[in-house]
A and B are shown apart, each in its own frame.
Chain A
């Protein structure tokens, strides 16, 4: 089971914090700080596994992390997860972010924190791996974004439009236009009123 997913930058500022086990707020922040210090000490050419810090559980827990440019992606897992599998999972998550945001960078994570959470929710749910097919995840996200746009942008607009038309004051249209000898019958336009 995945205990926590943390993303922070090279200075330790959190960019995504998701816990799947309940901890009080101060402990959560402490865990983020402690994890950052542990991970910062690691060189780039040594293995991606760290025995966990003392706060997030006992000897059963490991930190599996990957360093991408300015961001650290850290998954805290217990012994029931395959370590190499989690490394691949981090890669899947990052690639999905890349597809959804088009060349994702740290700024995307900062300004669209909620969207990152929604994407993560499609990959990992309740601490367990849900879906690893990138195309499916991306398709879902696009569908949800469309749904959001369709109701968010116009919000109550369709209802308003209908009532606006109903209240329109169209001037009375003459039924018969008499221009000399010609007799043009104007069709009944009442259905448009």
Chain B
């Protein structure tokens, strides 16, 4: 049998493997050895085997059979075993394995009796993978270590305490009283840990936050010492003494000073001093300065100081170091809500950053630019953003496009500019815009009557150049259909190019036939062609031809439309003009217009969910001026000719449903519960139950609470009751509304639980309502 390899040789062999398969072979062979050695090998060599296993684990191979070995190694008295054992525990074990609880005992022993390095290992393991129960068991041990003199173990104990507080928040009571004292230590590691612990405690409880406000003077003193002390080799990084500690202190000051006048005042001088004196030629100084700026902006600082802070950020934006510019952009983004005008001053620099080739920087610059758009700078900003849209990387396109559209919607100076902007976005990044862009644009154009001619001309020319961008094509075909007559006339605002009928029809046919068009787009094109039949002066033979060809199209939706339009030419030619006249203005959110909005939306699903005949029905509804829902009764004959006849014969909306009788569900000592039902006609799945509680007894009912439960397939929403007291002798009742959504028409059962006080006793009643009328759920 090949002997087990030494660690060094093992790694050499792995590196020597030329293929993945070879590497796997080597590792599997060695893992077999490791397993055998764990079973009955030399206990003194166990740590070497586990080290090999951990290496293999890092490369991604399974190593779970080493978990129990970690426990054995941790229990061994030798330091070398414990070291590897604890490392293995941190890498291989976690809360989800039951084995992790077994090390609690070992950790306890090591914490109380081990030498310093061993205590350090135990604390490290506890802070990495300690579960909530482990933390609770070992809290007292850790507390003891916090108080003993050696700084090495103390600093580790403090950070372990942070982890424990995160896992088991009730332990904060143990550690909170010790923090203030720890701040008086001099060792930087202890201070760093203590400040982290205080931040964690403050974030968890407002009471702790108030308690720690009293240490603000001490923190200010520590920071001042750090800033004013001369060069000390111990903790300095590029000439700044312990920037890590400075940054943490500034962070804690920010948390403590927020919304608190007195603390903010205490820190003002120091913050000003740090802001002006920190040397920012190296990264460390910049880190400290950034924290200072963020702290200044977050607390109640003097106005002059705030201006200084924003100017510092502006200066950083011009720095040549890209990291600094990135952090400056991030910080400005945080400030843009609270100090909008101050950040506006740096807008030109931000826009410069848009042109960066660095993806992270340009992303930040984009977010910040979008946040800075307002009504006064919208034109220039949109120009910049559109230029950016043309050249930006694909993953930013969607954000940029929707950002521009949103900004245009909020701040558009004129409708024409708005239409132009959306048009530009659609031509540049059409495939990345959101679904409702098409709906928005059609609505916008529909509403801007004076711009119909202009829009249709522009859209026509854009379409003529490029028929691949689906949202653009959809809007353009819709417009050409609606406003085709404007297109054929001349328009002063665009180039006076006479558009011929033949050209328009040829373009629409091109869209119809193109393999790039989505099914929904082709539907648009066909309808547009049809509408054109009433808008043009020439004859309609060409259109008839196309329509009849598509009568045998494979796409069912197109086929249906084509056949209907065909019939419109043949049997109902006299009605054609009226049916196909211009649509009235679409309003946002109306129930009828919801259908329109649904159809003009970018619909990638080839089969629409609304009934097939609804589009024609909409037109007829507009004609007949009937209101109400456009949902077809399901008994309609689906054949096209028959459908048309039925639609034309359609008299009125379906009759209102018969009212559902009330139901008394509960009676006890004069307290009665009644249910009354309503089913609103527009939403068939919704049932509204009003629960009325009356009291005909001699004592009032107080603390009345009614809770309800329904079967799983049904949704229930309880509104707030009108009150929870019913006075005696038929006083004003309590009413409460239940909303029940039952789309599957499942049989409705209701379980009610009542709790109230009556005649000096507390009453609890649970009962099921089984005899609900059938009409409530069918």
Contact = CB atoms under 8 A, between A and B. Distances in A.
B55 interface: yes
A46 interface: yes
Given A110-B11, A125-B159, A151-B78, A143 B237 contact: no
B136 interface: no
A49 B247 CA distance: 19
- Which range contains the number of A residues in contact with the other chain? 35 or more
B128 A89 contact: no
Contact of B80 (A47, A48, A128, A151): A151
Nearest to B244: A132
Given A84-B286, A129-B244, A118 B83 contact: yes
Contact of A126 (B62, B94, B159): B159
A46 B234 contact: no
A82 B235 contact: no
Contact of B287 (A46, A84, A152): A84
Interface string A17-30: 11010100100110
A84 B117 contact: no
A114 B91 CA distance: 11
A144 B284 contact: no
B290 interface: yes
Interface in A84-121: 84-85, 87-89, 91-92, 110-111, 113-114, 117-118, 121
A179 B270 CA distance: 94
A34 interface: no
B58 A132 contact: no
A28 B59 CA distance: 10
A147 interface: yes
Given A85-B287, A128-B162, A47 B326 contact: yes
A47 B325 contact: yes
A46 B357 contact: yes
A122 B449 CA distance: 72
Given A46-B361, A88-B284, 4 more contacts: A25-B60, A46-B357, A114-B83, A126-B159
Q: Which of A16, A17, A91, A114 has the most CB of B within 10 A?
A: A114
A126 B163 contact: yes
A91 B251 CA distance: 22
25 contacts: A14-B60, A18-B91, A22-B95, A49-B323, A51-B360, A83-B326, A88-B283, A88-B287, A92-B237, A113-B58, A125-B123, A125-B160, A126-B124, A126-B160, A128-B162, A128-B196, A129-B196, A130-B156, A130-B159, A130-B189, A130-B193, A131-B155, A132-B244, A136-B189, A148-B83
A138 interface: no
A71 interface: no
B360 A46 contact: yes
A29 to B, nearest CB: 4
Interface in B124-164: 124, 127-129, 152, 155-156, 159-160, 162-163
Contacts of B283: 84, 87-88
Interface in B213-272: 234-235, 237, 242-244, 247, 251
Contact of B58 (A17, A84, A126, A148): A17
Interface in B323-348: 323-327, 330
A144 B330 CA distance: 42
A84 B322 contact: no
A50 B322 CA distance: 12
A114 B80 contact: no
B244 A125 contact: no
Ranked nearest first, the 9 interchain pairs of A and B with the lowest CB-CB distance are A126-B127, A84-B287, A46-B358, A47-B322, A29-B60, A47-B326, A22-B94, A126-B163, A131-B189
A176 interface: no
B243 A121 contact: no
B235 A133 contact: yes
A114 B127 CA distance: 19
A149 to B, nearest CB: 9
B84 interface: yes
A113 B15 CA distance: 14
A117 B57 CA distance: 14
B58 A147 contact: no
A10 interface: no
B87 interface: yes
A18 B360 CA distance: 25
A130 B360 CA distance: 29
Contacts of A89: 244
A190 interface: no
A47 B243 CA distance: 21
Interface string A137-156: 00010011001100110010
Contact of A118 (B87, B243, B323, B330): B87
A131 B156 CA distance: 9
Contacts of B286: 84
B388 interface: no
Interface residues of B, number: 69
Contacts of B330: 83
Contacts of B117: 140, 143-144, 147
B87 A114 contact: yes
A135 interface: yes
A144 B120 CA distance: 11
B360 A50 contact: yes
The winner among A13, A25, A46, A82 for most chain B CB atoms within 10 A is A82
B128 A20 contact: yes
B51 interface: yes
Nearest to B193: A130
B712 interface: no
B363 interface: yes
A28 B94 CA distance: 14
Nearest to A150: B79
A144 B91 CA distance: 21
A84 B60 CA distance: 31
A133 B234 contact: yes
Contacts of B322: 45-47
- Most chain A C-beta atoms within 10 Å of own C-beta, residue among B129, B188, B237: B237
Nearest to A86: B287
A46 B357 CA distance: 8
Interface string B395-429: 00000000000000000000000000000000000
* Residue from B8, B15, B326 with most neighbouring chain A CB atoms (10 Å): B326
B237 A88 contact: yes
B44 interface: yes
A144 B86 CA distance: 14
A128 B189 CA distance: 12
Contacts of B284: 84, 88
Contacts of B15: 110
Nearest to A89: B244
B438 interface: no
A128 B159 contact: yes
A151 B359 CA distance: 53
B323 A87 contact: yes
Interface string A30-65: 000000000000000111111100000000000000
B70 interface: no
B30 interface: no
B291 interface: yes
A152 B363 CA distance: 54
Nearest to B358: A46
Contacts of B51: 113-114
Q: Which one of A20, A91, A118, A126 has the highest number of Cβ atoms from chain B below 10 Å of its Cβ?
A: A126
Contacts of A140: 117, 152
B361 A132 contact: no
A135 B235 CA distance: 9
B193 A47 contact: no
Contacts of A48: 323
Given A14-B58, A148-B83, A88 B244 contact: yes
Contacts of B363: 51
Nearest to A87: B283
Contacts of B360: 46-47, 49-51
A85 B244 contact: yes
A111 B8 contact: yes
B54 interface: yes
